[in-house]
Amino acid sequence: MSSDPFFVTPKIKKRKPMTSGDVTSNGKKVKTQNGENIPQTKERVTRSKKKLADEKIDQEEKNLSSEDEIGPGGIDDMDFDNDNDEEEKSDEDENNMETPTEKRRRLAKQYIESVKKELDEAEFDAAEIDRDLIAERLKKDALEQTGRAHRIIADTFSFPIEDSNVKSGRHELTVTCVAVAENGQIFYTGSKDASIIKWDLVSGKKLHTFPGGRKEVKNFDGHTNHVLSLAISSDGKYLASGGIDKKINIWSVKENKLLKCFTQHKDSISSLAFRKGSNQLYSASFDRTIKIWNIDELCYVDTLYGHQDQIMSIDTLSRERCVSAGARDRTCRLFKVIEEKQLILRGDVKVVKRDNQTFMEDSIDVVEMIDEDNFLSGGNSGTISLWNIGIKKPIFVYRLAHGIESEGTIPLAYWITSLAIIKYSDLFVSGSWDGNIRLWKIANNFKSFVPLTQITMIGFVNSLKFATVIDEKVFLLAGIGQEHRLGRWQKIKKAKNGWRLIELPLKKKEE
């Protein structure tokens, strides 16, 4: 009778004892006495390693106990000096291992000490150094790093501005755009004659001319139609220009020569803007796209889509983002390049009635950033709007900012043709063709603005820029023409084509 397999005791195979040389370097196989490799489980390898470690520890303990019992290696032969060095080193290592909180506290203390030292060198009183002054400095530095530092300067200027503070220069045709270097030494003007002229800001002298060419000329080093936009890089090395000929030209400021011509846009280049602190360029076009360029490498980077109509204006600051105006799609859009997102901000749709006429914003034509979170826009209804990127509608609207033109058969609002602001400040200006440039003060914690004064300026104010020269003088540069920069539907014959440089005088300090 065969035995039931359930009750049969399985034969246990005896394994040969393992030694330390049986485990391979990867811990997965052992070598038997026959030289064969057999798979070894993780658990078994772990037990083997543990056993070897225990044996090694036991051996070391035996050696230590034997050294304590005999003379050599005993207490008389120990190196106390070396032992002390090791203890001091270990203490130093423990002290150097600080937590992130302790590191921030240490760096903050160092920064405060450096601020105190600077203030001491400026011979401030100790009472002023202690709290308020240091706290204000720390807050200011933090705001500057995040792009939210605001300078309250509108009340420091003396108004009205006298005619003696105004310089001028001439162009053959309407000046459509201006650009000022950040160092406040030079500026450029672009015109409908397709030329670009470089000027000295202090003396007003012409430094160089980039002549324009005829429309039918090919491979011309310059523009062959109206120049509509100019921009200078933050480091002052590059000038970018764009126009109706669909070209973006990159010029060397120092050498006054053409470096590159981009022709990827399919329609007129309406606006250009360099990122602050970077040579990244944004270009806006009537083809409804925004393109990004790396000017250091003179190459194309990316294209941004979204607007449903011609893009009229674009602006940017330090972050990789830009704000644009989409004309008759009546939107401003904030493009976040890194996140590949865009915020759509709808324009003011309220109808304004004045003298039995209705005025409504049909087109947003210009944008200007105040800081990273706030910006201004202007449209064909004469409306200036103040925006915050966290709100999809304007937080403040000033309608018919330049009044109404009543000379024609149908009253027409003086639409906003240009805007400019001293970045991160409360002072901005607006231009139209009503005969005045208007200065405004942003108030109520940057939630509204009020008019300050106006400067007489006959003609279309097609472009405005602020400039600060070395001795901290503030200038306003205006591009003036007999026609609007985009059309000839109306002409002001009394206007002189060219630029105006207006110095904003500071108030005298009270004794």
Q: What is the pLDDT of residues 80-90, one digit of tens each?
A: 344 444 444 44
Task: Supply the pLDDT for residue 504.
Answer: 93
Q: What is the DSSP string of 81-147?
A: HHHHHHHHHHHHHHHH---HHHHHHHHHHHHHHHHHHHHHHTT--HHHIIIIIHHHHHHHHHHHHHT
Task: Supply the pLDDT for residue 146.
Answer: 56
Task: Supply the pLDDT for residue 163.
Answer: 84
Alpha-carbon distances, residue 481 vs 4, 159, 175, 366, 457 (angstroms): 113, 25, 5, 18, 10
* Rg (alpha carbons) of the chain, rounded to whole number: 37
**Global confidence as pTM:** 0.72
Q: Which of 484-487's residues contact partners 24+ apart within 8 Å by CB, and which partners?
A: 484/417, 484/433, 484/460, 485/174, 485/176, 485/177, 485/192, 485/226, 485/228, 485/417, 485/460, 486/228
Task: Supply the pLDDT for residue 365.
Answer: 95
Segments making up each domain of the chain, as ranges: 154-504
Task: Supply the pLDDT for residue 359.
Answer: 73
Q: How far is residue 228's CA from residue 324's CA, in Å, rounded to a whole number?
A: 16
In sequence order, the β-bridge partners of residue 463 are 479
AA identity, residue 102:
E
Would you state the structure tokens that stand for residue 13, as one six-digit string?
């195979």
Task: Supply the pLDDT for residue 88.
Answer: 47
HSE value, Cβ hemisphere, 13 Å, CA-based, for 294: 6
Task: Supply the pLDDT for residue 27.
Answer: 46
Cα 216-219-223 angle, rounded to 5 deg: 70
Sheet of strand 474-481, all strands in order from the earlier edge strand to the far edge: 166-170, 498-504, 474-481, 460-468
pLDDT in tens, the chain (511 residues): 445 544 555 554 455 555 544 444 444 444 444 444 444 444 454 555 555 556 555 555 455 444 444 444 443 344 434 444 444 444 444 455 677 777 777 877 777 777 666 656 555 555 555 566 666 656 655 665 555 668 899 999 998 888 888 999 999 999 999 999 998 899 999 999 999 999 999 899 999 999 999 887 888 999 999 999 999 999 999 999 999 999 999 999 999 999 999 999 999 999 999 999 999 999 999 999 999 999 999 999 999 999 999 999 999 999 999 999 999 999 999 999 999 999 999 987 777 766 666 777 789 999 999 999 999 999 988 999 999 999 989 999 999 999 988 776 677 889 999 999 999 999 999 999 999 999 999 999 999 999 999 999 999 999 999 998 766 789 999 999 999 999 867 889 899 999 999 999 988 765 3
Q: Are 466 and 426 within 8 A, CB to CB?
A: no
Cα 487-292-342 angle, rounded to 5 deg: 90
Torsion angles phi and psi, residue 135, rounded to 5: -60, -40
Task: Supply the pLDDT for residue 35.
Answer: 46
Alpha-carbon distances, residue 339 vs 79, 288, 317, 319, 425 (angstroms): 62, 21, 17, 12, 28
Task: Supply the pLDDT for residue 21.
Answer: 46
Task: Supply the pLDDT for residue 348.
Answer: 77
Torsion angles phi and psi, residue 190, rounded to 5: -115, 150
HSE value, Cβ hemisphere, 13 Å, CA-based, for 355: 10
Q: Which CATH superfamily is domain 154-504 in?
A: YVTN repeat-like/Quinoprotein amine dehydrogenase (2.130.10.10)
